[in-house]
Structure 1
Amino acid sequence: MEYAAAKSSICRQCGRSFSPFAPKPGLKLRTREEAPPPESSSIRGRFEDFWKRQRSSIIECFECKRKQQVSGAATSTICPACSAHIDLRDYKITSGFSRTIRTRGDVHLTSRGDLGSSSVVCRSALIEGRLRGNLHCDTATINYSGKIPGRISARHIIVDRKADIHCFRSVRAESVEIRGRMSGEIVAQTMVMIHKRGSLEGDVTARAITVEKGGMFSGQLVIGQVGLTQGELLQEQEPAAATGSESNFPETAPRPLPAT
């Protein structure tokens, strides 16, 4: 008989050490089956996960600009042409953030976020917080009220209805849609559209501008090619005609003098 708390003992017959709680040889022990991973809490979540894995998108390399098709579930990939790493993750900023971002995913700046990165490159951006850095993306949607000291450049910019922004730096884009209130300078390559109840106060340089009924625009407007200088607007003038004081007789070639 051994002590109940003993972890090992010695056999009195053969002198070998053994554990009183060790299983006997040939004895099968029951193993607890592992529980399956919990499923998504809602049908909508499961559908979104399934759709994200099934869909695919075409991305462009940052270095060589080569396009390729990737799965929607991928978080990164390698360019087959130049072997450069391409980030595909989405970023959600809920507090102060100052690191550089370069991704082909989306960036969501929440109302409590403060983006102070020197360079942010992404596919699309939703701005609901303070932007103090430089943002470059394909589509930027602004739903924020306040001052924006950062720089925004995109292919298409949308100022939402609830937005009321004041941009310290010029906003550059191919096209701009204004549905809320905005003050600042806009340089667009194609068109600026001010929707109903939209308001824009500032200088605009674009090829065309559309103001719907109920919209308001106040500022200086330059319609034409972006980057056109004043010298290019002036037409070339032809040289002035010859004055009457000049001789109208044709010039004769000089003749050599006769030899004496």
Structure 2
Amino acid sequence: MNPRHIELVCPGCDHHQMEPSMVISTQCRSCGQHMDIRDGKPVVRPKHATRLASPGNPPLQHGSTGSAKQPEPKTAKPRQQGFLRKIFRRERPPRMVDCYHCQRNFEVVRDAQSSQCPKCGGYISLRDYEIDHAWRRRIQTRGDVKILKEGSIIGVKVQCHDLTVLGILAAPVDCSGVICIRSHGKIVGNVTCGELRVERGAKVEFQGDVRAGKAYIDGDVKAQLTCTGTIILEKKAHLQGLARAGGLVVKAGAKHSGLMEVVRPQVAG
């Protein structure tokens, strides 16, 4: 047996499957049961429900008898609330992620903290990060990363799904989802993403190559931008630099300074 993998048995259906030895949670490939891994053994994750206590009814006052005895609670009411909770609070549907080892796209449970690529067997972290200080370690996850106003990531590579920048980002980025920038600054290194969004009022200079599926710009951007889809410049937006894209939409009041090249999708011969 490979020492880097362990064999797990699903507590629900007794299905056997191999997982990386570092895995902390996974999903049964037979019945879909989500499991936490503790000391190398699978444990069904408990479902926590928040109970809201309703204020008790005030006692009924009667002139002759005083306080009346409160009626006994009905036993069917909690069951009815649990049934309604199941209807209106369904578990969120699974999502698709890209393996950062072999780029295979596969489905994972939305609340999972880690998974394993079905193609190469690589360990995939799904942890979310919220950065509120100076961060100097590499981030490799297919969860989401949010840099708060007080936070910064400088000089280390970031691999994630969605990335939101409210603070300082000066690092190369590999983002399988959306990069949303709402701050000012210079981004050092190459940037790859599914979608680039620069919000209104943001000013950013990309000092490396930027490759995206599509781009939405409502701020001031200086970049060498390549998109397989369309670049949209909103009103008062300004893009400086070479733009390669399937199309360029410049709305009234927007401006593009630089060359524009039309990129056509390559057809396999």
TM-score, normalised to structure 1's length?
0.62
How much has 1:73 moved relative to structure 2? 2.1
Flag the structure with larger Rg: 1
For the Cα contact (< 8 Å) 1:52–1:73, is it kept in 2? no
What's 2:188 paired with?
Answer: 149
Given candidates 121, 129, 140, the residue that maps to 1:83 is: 121
Q: Counterpart of 1:191 in structure 2: which amino acid?
A: T
What's 2:94 paired with?
Answer: 56
How far apart are the structure 2 equivalents of 1:79 and 1:64? 9
Instruction: State whether structure 2 residue 201 is matched by structure 1 residue 194.
Output: no
How far apart are the structure 1 equivalents of 2:144 and 2:151? 15
How far apart are the structure 2 equivalents of 1:68 and 1:209? 32
How much has 1:174 moved relative to structure 2? 2.1
How far apart are the structure 1 equivalents of 2:173 and 2:165? 10
Q: 1:60 to 1:225 in 2, by over 3 A?
A: closer
Given candidates 184, 209, 215, the residue that maps to 2:223 is: 184
How much has 1:99 moved relative to structure 2? 1.4
Instruction: State whether structure 2 residue 166 is matched by structure 1 residue 102.
Output: no
Which one has a larger percent strand, Structure 1 or Structure 2?
Answer: 2
How far apart are the structure 1 equivalents of 2:251 and 2:205? 22
What's 1:31 paired with?
Answer: none
How far apart are the structure 1 equivalents of 2:198 and 2:168? 15
What's 2:23 paired with?
Answer: none
How much has 1:117 moved relative to structure 2? 4.5
How far apart are the structure 2 equivalents of 1:112 and 1:40? 35
For the Cα contact (< 8 Å) 1:188–1:226, is it kept in 2? no
Equivalences for residues 62-77 of structure 1 within 5 A: 62-77=100-115
- What SS does the aligned partner of 1:185 have? strand
Q: 1:226 to 1:114 in 2, by over 3 A?
A: farther
Q: 1:63 to 1:176 in 2, by over 3 A?
A: same
How much has 1:115 moved relative to structure 2? 0.6
Q: 1:189 to 1:128 in 2, by over 3 A?
A: same
Q: 1:72 to 1:162 in 2, by over 3 A?
A: same
What's 1:223 paired with?
Answer: 262
The alignment of Structure 1 onto Structure 2 pairs a total of residues equal to 184
How far apart are the structure 2 equivalents of 1:162 and 1:218? 18
Equivalences for residues 153-168 of structure 1 within 5 A: 153-168=192-207
Q: Counterpart of 2:182 in structure 1: which amino acid?
A: N
How far apart are the structure 2 equivalents of 1:84 and 1:66? 11
Gaps of 5+ in 1: 1-36, 42-46, 228-260
RMSD: 2.9
Q: 1:171 to 1:115 in 2, by over 3 A?
A: same
How far apart are the structure 2 equivalents of 1:179 and 1:216? 11
What's 2:214 paired with?
Answer: 175
How much has 1:70 moved relative to structure 2? 2.5
Given candidates 211, 214, 231, the residue that maps to 2:253 is: 214
Q: 1:156 to 1:180 in 2, by over 3 A?
A: same
Deviations 1:122-157 (A, max 9, x none): 111001121121111121111112333343221210
How far apart are the structure 2 equivalents of 1:79 and 1:153? 21
What's 1:13 paired with?
Answer: none
Q: 1:129 to 1:214 in 2, by over 3 A?
A: same
For the Cα contact (< 8 Å) 2:170–2:186, is it kept in 1? no
For the Cα contact (< 8 Å) 2:171–2:187, is it kept in 1? no
Gaps of 5+ in 2: 1-47, 53-84
How far apart are the structure 2 equivalents of 1:97 and 1:52? 36
How far apart are the structure 2 equivalents of 1:70 and 1:162? 36
Deviations 1:197-222 (A, max 9, x none): 21112222223211011211122222
Instruction: State whether structure 2 residue 194 is matched by structure 1 residue 121.
Output: no
For the Cα contact (< 8 Å) 1:172–1:187, is it kept in 2? yes
For the Cα contact (< 8 Å) 2:189–2:209, is it kept in 1? no
